[in-house]
Amino acid sequence: MPDIMESIVLSEDSLRAIEDVVTVPTYSFRDWSSDLLKGVRSEIRNFYRTQQKARCAYCRNVITKSASGCHVEHIVPKSKYTEFMFTPKNLCVICPDCNEIKREKEVSNNLEGMLKKDPKKYPRSSSAFLIYHPHFDDYEDHIIQIDGYYIDRTDKGATTIKMCTLNRRVREFGFEPSLVSSPKQMELMYKILNSGKLEEIMLLIEK
């Protein structure tokens, strides 16, 4: 079952606020942060936080209730697909770490592809997306999570792990997350980190 079973139906107030913003000739994706949309952002945040049982869509860590601890995420980036900025199926909530990492990549144009091709309407099925999509996909079909480490089961899983640098925990041990992407490497590293005996560690490193 996908984490998000229901999409938001925005209130009349929110729809009016959006209308006021998008009809201004200078409207762009940057207006997402406008004060006029504060209520809209809060409505979206609260709705999806409940839907997702207070867990980040990508890393599944617990997200707090505050605006700084719970970020509204545009699954396909609003800078590239501004037309989907308020599309209910394009929205979810994520933690500050995932938000920071994905936003940095978006700004530097270094974001992995999200969609197989540019659609006019928002895609209605999982197959159109190159990343895990919390409205369409089962998380466990694509990503296995063990003790804060993430292992891909599919290409979508791999792209998502890479996009959000989900294996950031390995940095604590001096590994570079981008170098640790395959299940085999992850399994080996996991064993190394969890082996208490020096001879065992040496054996594993030799492998």
Contacting positions for Zn ion (CB under 5 A): 56, 58-59, 95, 98
CB of 72 to Zn ion, least distance (A): 13
| Alpha-carbon distances of 96 from 42, 153, 206, rounded to whole Å | 16, 25, 37
Of the pair 31, 100, the CB lying nearest Zn ion is at 100
Of the pair 20, 138, the CB lying nearest Zn ion is at 138
Of the pair 14, 102, the CB lying nearest Zn ion is at 102
Both tokens of 59, joined, read 């890393």
Of the pair 58, 150, the CB lying nearest Zn ion is at 58
CB of 25 to Zn ion, least distance (A): 36
- Contacting residues for 11 by C-beta, under 8 A, at least 6 apart: 43
Rounded CA gap, 73 and 100, in Å?
11
CB of 49 to Zn ion, least distance (A): 13
How many Cβ atoms sit within 10 Å of the Cβ of residue 40? Answer: 22
Residue 124, burial from CB neighbour count under 10 angstroms (0-12, 13-18, 19+): exposed
CB of 75 to Zn ion, least distance (A): 13
CB of 167 to Zn ion, least distance (A): 12
Sequence-ordered alpha helix ranges (H) in the chain: 12-22, 38-51, 96-107, 139-142, 155-163, 183-194, 198-206
CB of 27 to Zn ion, least distance (A): 29
Residue 143 is inside which H or E element, if any?
Answer: strand 143-146
Of the pair 96, 183, the CB lying nearest Zn ion is at 96
Of the pair 119, 177, the CB lying nearest Zn ion is at 177
Rounded CA gap, 2 and 196, in Å?
38
Angular region, 148: left φ>0, alpha ψ -120 to 50, beta rest: left
